[in-house]
Structure 1
Amino acid sequence: MIAGLVQAFNETMPVLSKGGPIVGILVFLSIIAFAIIAVKIAQFYKSGVYGRAQRREAYIAPALQAIEHGDLNAAREVLQKAQGPIARLMEAGIAVKWDRNVREQDVEDEIARIGGNLLTRLQSYFRWLEVIGNVAPLLGLLGTVIGMIGAFQALEEAGSKVDPSILSGGIWVALLTTAVGLTVAIPAVTALNLFESRLDVFRQEMRDVSARLIAALHTRQDEALIAEPAKDAAE
């Protein structure tokens, strides 16, 4: 397999070298694009974005139940064993609520802020893929236009001794840059759309968990307010 890849590389490089500096730029952009795609896939798997919601529910439900019963320590222990942005979001919400003097609106604002920061990290490098997906075809088209200009100049210089191979050879070399540009752009745009689609689903799940977390924290506070007067009356 490795020998086949080496042979394919050796056969491809002489062809690509005819495309000039624009093909070199496109190859460089392709390396960046595939590196970003690999990094994002690894990040999404590590963060649990590609994981099933049922697996995350295995720690979300016990943590919320512990919060509703007023046991924030137990909830934090459950979340500390879990990985991913949702667990970190819930931990942050519990940390804010630890101060009983904090207002409910402040808790909601802090959870929203932390959730936004976590999503921003997951969206990192998306703009790079978008730029590469937009610029690569344009660079390919630019290379084609430049190549066509060169081909017609060579045809003009040939004068009456026109050789069809001069024009055809110049045209295929010119079209090479367009092909390379599309080859770079298609994977970048496809990966970007797949990442954004999966992140939209994950964003909605984070909103749902945030709402459940806020409701659980409010339930805990309401129970505490009811319990304190009852305790004073008993004394």
Structure 2
Amino acid sequence: MPDAAQTAADATSAANGGADAAVAGADQAAGTIKGAADALAAGGSDPWYSLASLVDKGGVIVVILIVLSIISAAVILLKLWQFWRSDLKRHNFVDPAVDKVEAGDPEGALAILSKYKTPLSRAMAAGVRAKARGDLRDEDVAAEISRVGAVELGALQRHFRWLEVIGNISPLLGLLGTVIGMIEAFQQLEESGSKVDPALLSGGIWQALLTTAVGLIVALPAITALNLFEGRVDQVRLSMRDASARILAALHARPMSRPAKAAD
């Protein structure tokens, strides 16, 4: 009988051990499943460069930078449309207009210039009209051409200041966001005390650097477009100086009768 009792006790112990092992295996399996689910959820989250992620991690600074990027894009599109409409590359009317002026035909010159709506044609037409009045000196005619040319160039340069400001302040705003993020990361590290978690610090750092990246992304197109636009305006300015000198020389060399259009 003692042997039978001992055998029963051993069997009970073995059964309990098997049950514990089964519970442990179930717990391990549940942990594995949970870990896989967490990994899947993490893999399906938005990447750091998505708009929602940038706004969530960058905060107000990123929102401001996004607004600045929208303004920058609007100004760039507006200037592209204006430059295309002004047909700045067209200069084929300069020689015919100068030839008409040299022949003493201001009406013919104005007829040619009126067909084009470029800054260059408007400045030249202003000089022809001023000379056709008959009561202005050559210096006054040159001043009128300069005045109209300055107005036309000013219209081409309108809104350039926006691109300049956005290109200058966007990196600074991004750097400000990075500094604020670094301060918050080190504050969290200090609050953790002796339980320093490297993941906590590295996570705070890369999130803080997002604002600098966004600031540079906003600034680069604005600065690039501004330099290209200013280069195009400089070309127009040089062309206007050349055409103005030629039309002034032609007006000085050939006296002209008062055209009918100038009398209006």
Q: Same fold (TM over 0.5)?
A: yes
Q: Which residue number corresponds to residue 52 of structure 2?
A: 14
Pairing partner for 2:74 from 12, 16, 35: 35
Say whether the 8 Å CA contact 2:170–2:216 is kept in structure 1.
yes
C-alpha distance 11-108 of structure 1, shift in aligned 2 (>3 A): closer
Give runs of ≥4 in structure 1 deviating > 4 Å. Answer: 8-11
Q: Is it true that 1:211 corresponds to 2:219 in the alignment? A: no
Structure 2 residue 104 is matched with structure 1 residue 66? no
Alignment of 1:122-161 (within 5 A): 122-161=156-195
- In the alignment, residue 186 of structure 1 is paired with which amino acid? L
Counterpart Cα distance in 2 of 1:14 and 1:47? 40
Equivalents in 2 of 1:114, 1:139: separation in Å? 39
1:32-181 equivalences in 2 (<5 Å): 32-49=71-88, 51=89, 55-56=90-91, 58-181=92-215
- Count, aligned residues: 211
Distance 2:47 2:224 in 1: 24
2:254 is equivalent to residue 220 of structure 1: yes
TM-superposed CA distance for 1:33, in Å, is 0.7
How far is 1:110 from its partner? Answer: 1.0
**1:11 shift after superposition:** 7.0
Once the two structures are TM-superposed, the CA of residue 10 in structure 1 deviates from its matched residue by: 11
* Compared CA separation, residues 201 and 160, structure 1 to 2 (3 A): same
What letter corresponds to residue 142 of structure 1 in structure 2?
L
**Structure 1 residue 62, shift from structure 2 partner:** 1.0
- Match of 1:94, SS state, is helix
AA partner of residue 12 (structure 1): S
Aligned partners of 1:178, 1:75: CA distance in 2, in Å?
Answer: 56
- After TM superposition, give the deviation of residue 14 of structure 1 in Å: 2.2
Q: Distance in 2 between matches of 1:192 and 1:9?
A: 31
Report the Cα distance in structure 2 between the residues aligned to 1:202 and 1:112, rounded to whole angstroms: 13
Larger C-alpha radius of gyration, 1 or 2? 2
TM-superposition CA deviations, 1:4-35 (whole Å, max 9, x none): xxxx9997122211100000000000111111
Moved more, 90-99 or 170-179: 90-99
1:151, 1:202 → 2: CA distance?
52
Aligned to 2:40: none
Gaps (5+ residues) in structure 2? 1-45, 258-264
Rate the CA distance shift 1:121–1:64 in 2: closer, same or farther, 3 A.
same
Q: Aligned partners of 1:189 and 1:9: how far apart in 2? A: 27
C-alpha RMSD of the superposition: 1.8
Instruction: Show CA shifts across 1:47-76 (max 9, x none).
Output: 122x2xxx41x2111111111111111111
After TM superposition, the structure 1 stretch with the greater mean CA deviation from structure 2, 74-83 or 131-140, is 74-83
CA–CA separation in structure 2 for the residues paired with 1:28 and 1:167? 30
